[in-house]
Amino acid sequence: MNLTETKYSQFSLCREMLETAEVVAGFDINAVSSFAEPLTSKKSIFLTGEGSSRILPAKHALYNIQKQGTDLAVFTDGGTQALEYDLKDSIVFGMSNSGKTKELIRLFSVLKKQGNKNIFGITANKNTPLEDLSSKTNVLSCGKENAVAATKSVVEQSLFYDALFSIYSGKAMGNLSDAGKAVRSALEMEIDRKIIDTITNAGTIYFAGRNDGVSEELTLKTNEITHKKSDFLEGTYGVHGIEEVMNKNDVVIIINPFENEEGKFKECLIDGVGLNIIAISSRETIFPTINIPDVGYFQNYVELAAGWNILVETGIALGIDLDKAERARKVGNEFLG
């Protein structure tokens, strides 16, 4: 993805993806510090939102805090299902770029009526229904997105949780400047044309990998950017029965494959189904591999950027307007009250 070329620069999506590198490098951890104070009460922490405002931010956060170890009880689900939960004494963080996502506004309205004083909003806009309902609101600094598919905002939302739990635990996240450079590198690297051709001609594009938000978020972005069918195969789900309905025209993109499971994926999906597997990893794998830099704590963002790069190249190859969708909307379910 090179903005000196018109085929990329004509799209807001490409410009916004590349702005993500600066969003990462310039993220202000201190702006989150006041939101970390309530966590010392040791109450349960509930992370909610819809679509991209929950998939990567919440699941990336859960993955990292479990990996590092924590004494907090942290959970996530969507706003409508959360109405069935007892959250009146929980600390609740809700993300909505528009600040008027119906499911989140409905949940926060109920929690506020219940007297919950620990409901916090994260949004990209000021003076929104979410801000009116929240005990405190963080407004993202990434700026407006014009493309239907959310990109830089998703990463800043996720960085908010990174900073939140890092401040609470006292554990350093890593070097944001190096992470920003690695994100840019993953976005600008040239993808092998054979890989793009394979994905462009695929019937269904599957993403496999850890339940850390990356593969699942790329699944959603595949629908929005390439207008192709996609599915998320969590962990090793890809070798536990779904191969029965796959065919040789499908492709599986594995993010950071489990090394000891590579052979089984090859046996079931390449040898058994005849489809193609592509890996995104900082190490070599037995599959055609898109190599990315290793930046430790922030690796998920580099993986995401490499996936974006693939989807942009695929969308352009298919002749798709990357900024628009035929049916998808910027605000999935808008509160109109």
The rounded mean pLDDT for the chain is 94
Q: pLDDT, tens digit, for every residue of 175-225? A: 999 999 999 999 999 999 999 999 999 999 999 999 999 999 999 999 999
**pLDDT of res. 144:** 87
Buried b (16+ CB within 10 A) or exposed e, 254-266: bbbbeeeebeebb
Alpha-carbon 90 to chain mean position:
24
Angle between helices 52-68 and 214-226 (to 10 degrees): 160
Q: pLDDT, tens digit, for every residue of 224-257? A: 999 999 999 999 999 998 999 999 999 999 999 9
Q: pLDDT, tens digit, for every residue of 135-155? A: 999 999 998 889 989 999 999
Buried b (16+ CB within 10 A) or exposed e, 97-121: bbbbbbbbbbbbbbbeeeebebbbb
**pLDDT of res. 173:** 87
Query: What is d(CA 254, CA 281) in angstroms, rounded to the nearest whole number?
Result: 9
> What are phi and psi for residue 128, nearest 5 degrees?
-115, 165
Structural domains present in the chain: 6-177 (3.40.50.10490), 191-291 (3.40.50.10490)
**pLDDT of res. 335:** 55
Query: What is d(CA 182, CA 283) in angstroms, rounded to the nearest whole number?
Result: 15
Please say if the pLDDT value at position 332 is more than 70. Answer: no
